[in-house]
Copies of this chain bind each other. A is one copy, B any other.
């Protein structure tokens, strides 16, 4: 923008690649799509599209996730931009990656049936097209950072969840086992969860109490200088 004028031939296609995370059965999963055309036919890929002329980056990312999940207003965040997604169509392509966190139970299952898309556990991700594996790796590093510094684990959970589910999310994202007593003590000291008078009976005979994240309380505390840190 400063040194030189631009040349028409320097224009690029801009693709947005969305890394859609869900959490289900104690596993962190990513939604992938199987390509139907072209030289990469049948290979798995992140979910993406080209930026349209009238769009902004964030809006394009939201549109793409919405088109495949039917969801709106999920947590999304830009991760990184890449210049090496092998040129296709003889055009130069720059890719901008985003993470999206969704409650896997909410997304529209009809879309899943109509498209060659599938949830893959993070540890079972196959070899993907272009540099999509690298994008996932980078996004996981971001996710690891965010989950310790922002209350985003709840984006991956239903409104009501058990402490074990919450703990498991931290464990799979951080890649470490945590002590359940320390974990609960920690969250209790943060004072951000409401314990409900309901139990989840699916995981044990005794049943586990359900909790919910109190976002209003969280925002009030932030306004008073509170800083989330796990």
| Chain B residues whose C-beta falls within 8 Å of the C-beta of A1 in the assembled complex | 15, 17, 45, 48-50, 85, 88, 93, 95
Q: Does A9 contact B (CB under 8 A)?
A: yes
Question: Please, how many residues of chain A have a CB less than 8 angstroms from a CB on the other chain?
Answer: 45
The verdict on A223 contacting chain B, using a C-beta distance below 8 Å, is no
- The answer, yes or no, to whether A216 is at the interface (CB within 8 Å) is no
- Copy total for this chain: 2
Say yes or no for A33: interface residue by CB 8 A criterion.
yes
CA distance in complex: A9, B8 (Å): 12
A3 to B15, CA, bound (A): 11
Mark contacts of A14-38 with chain B using CB atoms, 8 A cut-off: 1 yes-contact digit, 0 otherwise: 1101000000000000000101000
One digit per residue, 1 when the CB lies within 8 angstroms of any chain B CB and 0 when it does not, for chain A 103-146 equals 00000000000000000000000000000000000000000000
User: A82 contacts the other chain (Cβ, under 8 Å)?
Assistant: yes
Cross-interface CB contact of A49 among B2, B35, B93, cutoff 8 Å: B2
Give complex CA distance A89, B6 in Å.
10
A56 interfacial contact with B, CB 8 Å: yes
A17 to B81, CA, bound (A): 13
A57:B78 contact, CB within 8 angstroms: no
Q: A78-B80, A81-B78, A96-B81 are in contact. Are A4 and B57 (CB under 8 A)?
A: no
Asked whether any CB of chain B lies closer than 8 Å to the CB of A219, the reply is no
Bound complex: CA A93 to CA B56 (Å): 10
**Residues in chain B near residue A48, CB distance under 8 A:** 1-3
Q: A1-B88, A3-B67, A57-B82 are in contact. List 5 more A-B contacts (CB 8 A).
A: A2-B49, A3-B64, A12-B12, A12-B13, A12-B51
Residues in A lying within 8 Å of B, measured CB to CB: 1-4, 6-7, 9-15, 17, 33, 35, 45, 47-53, 55-58, 64, 67, 78, 80-85, 88-89, 91-96
